[in-house]
């Protein structure tokens, strides 16, 4: 009876289903994936901020900037001199049209973001006043 009790208390060591957790290679894989996503996010966020700044300026200028093309371009250049984050678009780059006596200001530009070494991310921004 003593031998039976001793064998029933010993746990089998060859059973692998009870072992759980992440391996070192899995941990390194997920760390590399999360860090790459973080690098891309940190490099792209300033360009997205610039796009929304330009879009807000264009919407404001289309409502209050003037009626002629030179007045609207000059108003955008004045707004650009105040707003430090606008570097990709100038007043000369704006496309200005009229739809039903309403001024519509459009813009478009490409932004290259260097990720690392020879790897770049190209983002094409387009926008228009409503």
The two structure tokens encoding residue 1: 């009876």
User: Alpha helix locations (H) across the chain?
Assistant: 2-9, 24-64, 69-82
Could you read off the pLDDT of 5-60 as tens digits, one per residue? 555 555 555 555 666 788 899 999 999 999 999 999 999 999 999 999 999 999 99
Q: What is the pTM of this model?
A: 0.75
The two structure tokens encoding residue 101: 């006596």
Helix (H, G, I), strand (E, B) or coil at 106: strand
Nearest Cα to Cα of residue 47 among 93, 110, 106, 118: 110
Could you read off the pLDDT of 2-13 as tens digits, one per residue? 555 555 555 555
* pLDDT computed for residue 124 by the predictor: 96
Percent of the chain past pLDDT 90, that is, above it, reads 47
Could you read off the pLDDT of 100-121 as tens digits, one per residue? 878 889 999 999 999 888 999 9
* pLDDT computed for residue 13 by the predictor: 59
């Amino acid at each position: 009876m003593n031998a039976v009790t001793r064998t029933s208390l010993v746990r089998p060591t060859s059973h692998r289903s009870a072992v759980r957790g992440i391996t070192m290679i899995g941990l390194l894989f997920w760390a590399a994936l999360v860090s790459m996503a973080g690098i891309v996010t940190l490099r792209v966020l300033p360009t997205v901020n610039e796009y929304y700044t330009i879009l807000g300026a264009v919407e404001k200028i289309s409502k209050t900037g003037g009626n002629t093309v030179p007045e609207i371009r000059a108003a955008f250049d004045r707004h650009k001199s105040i707003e430090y984050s606008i570097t990709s678009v100038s007043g000369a780059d704006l496309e200005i049209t009229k739809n039903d006596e309403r001024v519509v200001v459009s813009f478009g530009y490409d932004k290259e973001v260097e990720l690392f070494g020879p790897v770049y991310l190209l983002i094409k921004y387009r926008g228009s006043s409503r």
